[in-house]
Structure 1
Amino acid sequence: MTTELSKRECDTVLSESGVGVLALTDGTEAYSIPESFGYDGEILYFQFVYKQDSKKIAFLETTDTATLTVYDEQPAQSVIVQGPIEPVPEADETKAATAIAENASIPTLNVYPETTPDEVRMDYYRLPPTAITGRQFNAFTSTSDDQ
């Protein structure tokens, strides 16, 4: 059995999680990747680190509506955020950096161990939500009538 999360409950999950699975598409193929993010109560922010031939950036350019799924097991709940992903304008980069610093789960894994810093780029992107939905999964409890 599931119950829907309120807007406030969804905001809490997004503010406390800091990492989710970002789903993109090129119109034919789907591409899902774990991503850390910041959330300022309105917009989700990402700092993407990538090489020139990045599959993630190629898919970002062809995805009209991205989906970010954030979930937790205790309690069992999930939030799905949908919307376009766009570069953060230079004037808003401080806002993006602040949101990321406040709640993103920064990975300690070097995703490009064989790459020197001058071979990668780091850019801010944002996802202004067009939809945010959430559910909590309630444990099924057995009664004597169920046995």
Structure 2
Amino acid sequence: MDMENIQYATTRGLRDEDVEELLSTHHVGVLSLADGGDAYAVPVDYHYDGDQFYVRLTDDGESDKLEFLAATERPEFLVYGHGGDYESWSILARGDLHEVDPDEHGIDAATVNDWFGPVRIFDESVSAVEIRIFELEVASLVGRATIG
């Protein structure tokens, strides 16, 4: 391979205020989980308000993601975007993910709709799906973007 002709894009760390803005204005990310040597990554809706970071999951009683979540010691959450072939950004959040009681946190149906948008139903019936809210207690938050 001719390494001299490989193209590279220079990246930089995002400022804290850029991370806050990007997380606050986007609402879908990838939750990465693991069980031993098996990985599981799933796109999920999230809500970030500068203090709390919530993830909405669904459970139909046969959820692989919830089984992986129970086995995962350190989940990661990725939010990313791009503005063209060589313009991109990403934010990686790491921390503990635990389920919260919506009533105790003042989260009702209107809040769920506002924060997360419509629940995507695949082959389950609506009556078989339970909405579950998890809070990500962020231990580290790292943002990167291309310089261009």
TM-score range normalised by the length of the shorter chain: 0.7 to 0.9
Moved >4 Å (runs of 4+):
none
Q: Which moved more, 1:42-51 or 1:123-132?
A: 42-51
Q: CA RMSD in A?
A: 2.3
CA distance, structure 2, for counterparts of residue 117 and residue 77 of structure 1: 35
Matched residue, 1:94? 107
Shift of 1:116: 2.3
Alpha carbons of structure 1 residues 96 and 10: separation in structure 2 relative to 1, 3 Å: farther
Cα deviation per residue 1:9-55 (whole Å; 9 max; x = unaligned)? 11111111111111001122110011110012122112211211210
Contact 1:23 1:66 in 2 (8 A): yes
Shift of 1:110: 2.3
User: Which residue type is aligned with residue 47 of structure 1?
Assistant: R
Matched residue, 1:73? 82
Cα deviation per residue 1:79-138 (whole Å; 9 max; x = unaligned)? 110111100134115289748724x4x3574223xx323322111111110000000112
Residue 111 of structure 1 pairs with residue 122 of structure 2: yes
User: Which residue type is aligned with residue 82 of structure 1?
Assistant: R
Secondary structure (helix, strand or coil) at the match of 1:37 reads strand
CA distance, structure 2, for counterparts of residue 108 and residue 51 of structure 1: 13
Matched residue, 1:82? 94
Contact 1:45 1:100 in 2 (8 A): no
Overall identity of the aligned pairs, in %: 27
Q: How many residues align?
A: 135
Q: Specify every segment of 5 or more residues in structure 2 that has no aligned partner in the other structure, as ranges.
A: 1-9
Alpha carbons of structure 1 residues 96 and 22: separation in structure 2 relative to 1, 3 Å: farther
User: Which residue type is aligned with residue 81 of structure 1?
Assistant: A
Contact 1:38 1:96 in 2 (8 A): no
Please report the TM-score for the alignment, with normalisation by the length of structure 1: 0.81
CA distance, structure 1, for counterparts of residue 141 and residue 52 of structure 2: 11
Q: Specify every segment of 5 or more residues in structure 1 that has no aligned partner in the other structure, as ranges.
A: 140-147
1:5-44 aligned at under 5 Å gives the runs: 5-44=14-53
CA distance, structure 2, for counterparts of residue 63 and residue 52 of structure 1: 19
Between structures 1 and 2, the one with greater strand share = 2
